[in-house]
Structure 1
Amino acid sequence: MIEDWDTFLIPYKQAVDELKIKLRGMRKQFQQENTHTPIEFVTGRVKPVDSIIEKMQRRQINEKLLEADMQDIAGLRIMCQFVEDIYQVVDLIHQRADLEVVEERDYITNVKPSGYRSYHIVIAYPVQTVHGEKKILAEIQVRTLSMNFWATIEHSLNYKYQGAFPEEINERLKRAAEAAFMLDQEMSAIREEIQEAQQLFSYGKGQQVVDDNIEGNHVTDGDQSDTEPHDQE
Structure 2
Amino acid sequence: MSQLSIAQLKQFKNEITRFMMMYKFALDELETKVEILQEEFHFLHDYNPIEHTKSRLKTPESILKKLYRKGIPFSFASIRSHIKDIAGLRITCSFISDIYRISEMLVNQGDLKLVEVKDYIQNPKPNGYRSLHLIVEVPVFMSDRKENVCVEVQIRTIAMDFWASLEHKIYYKYNQAVPARLLAELKEAADSASALDIKMERLHREIEEIKEDRAGENVEELRQLTIDNQSFSLPPALINLLDQ
With the shorter chain as reference, the TM-score category is 0.7 to 0.9
The residue number in structure 2 matching 1:134 is 147
- What corresponds to 2:38 in structure 1? 27
For CA contacts below 8 A with separation 6 or more, give which structure has more relative contact order: 1
Structure 2 partner of 1:123: 136
CA 1:59/1:186 → structure 2, altered by over 3 Å: closer, same or farther?
same
Letter in 2 for 1:135: N
Using the TM superposition, give the Cα deviation of residue 160 of structure 1 relative to its aligned residue in structure 2, in angstroms.
3.0
Q: TM-score with structure 2 length normalisation?
A: 0.75
Q: Which position in structure 2 is the counterpart of 1:228?
A: none
* More displaced 10-residue stretch of structure 1: 186-195 or 134-143: 186-195
Query: Are positions 1:82 and 2:95 aligned together?
Result: yes
After alignment, is 100-109 or 157-166 more displaced? 157-166
1:181 aligns with 2:194: yes
Whole-Å Cα distance in 2 between the matches of residues 140 and 198 of structure 1?
32
Please say which of residues 35-44 and 21-30 is displaced more in the overlay: 35-44
Deviations 1:98-139 (A, max 9, x none): 210010000000100011000000011110001210111110
Give the corresponding residue for 1:151.
164
CA contact (8 A) 1:12 1:73 kept: yes
Deviations 1:126-164 (A, max 9, x none): 100012101111100010011001111112223233433
Match of 2:82 in 1: 69
* Cα shift at 1:193: 4.3
User: Which protein shows a greater Rg?
Assistant: 2
Gaps of 5+ in 1: 204-233
- Mapped to 2, the partners of 1:172 and 1:105 lie a distance apart of 25
Unaligned runs of 5+ in 2: 1-10, 215-220, 222-244
Give the Cα–Cα distance (whole angstroms) in 1 for the partners of residues 148 and 171 of structure 2.
32
Matched residue, 1:48: 59
Assess if the C-alpha contact under 8 Å between 1:24 and 1:42 holds in 2: no
Which residue of 114, 117, 120 corresponds with 1:107?
A: 120
Whole-Å separation in 1 of the counterparts to 2:112 and 2:21 = 19
* Shift, 1:19, TM fit: 0.9
| Alignment match, 1:220 | none
Sequence identity percentage: 37
Distance 1:196 1:91 in 2: 22
Partners of 2:139 and 2:204 in 1: CA distance: 37
Deviation readout 1:162-191 (Å, 9 max, x if unpaired) = 433211221111111111111101101111
| 1-structure distance, mates of 2:67, 2:189 | 31
**Structure 1 residue ranges, 4+ long, deviating more than 4 angstroms after superposition:** 193-200
Q: Secondary structure at the match of 1:190?
A: helix
Change (3 A) 1:198 1:159: farther
TM-score normalized by structure 1? Answer: 0.78
2:155 paired with 1:172 = no
Residue 28 of structure 2 is aligned to residue 17 of structure 1:
yes
CA distance in 1 between counterparts of 2:160 and 2:211 reads 21
Give the counterpart letter for 1:15 in structure 2. Answer: A
Q: Distance in 1 between matches of 2:20 and 2:27?
A: 11
Cα deviation, residue 43, structure 1: 1.8
TM-fit CA distance, 1:198:
9.1
Q: Supply the AA of the counterpart residue of 1:58.
A: R
Q: Alpha-carbon deviation of 1:60?
A: 2.0
Equivalent position SS for 2:147: strand
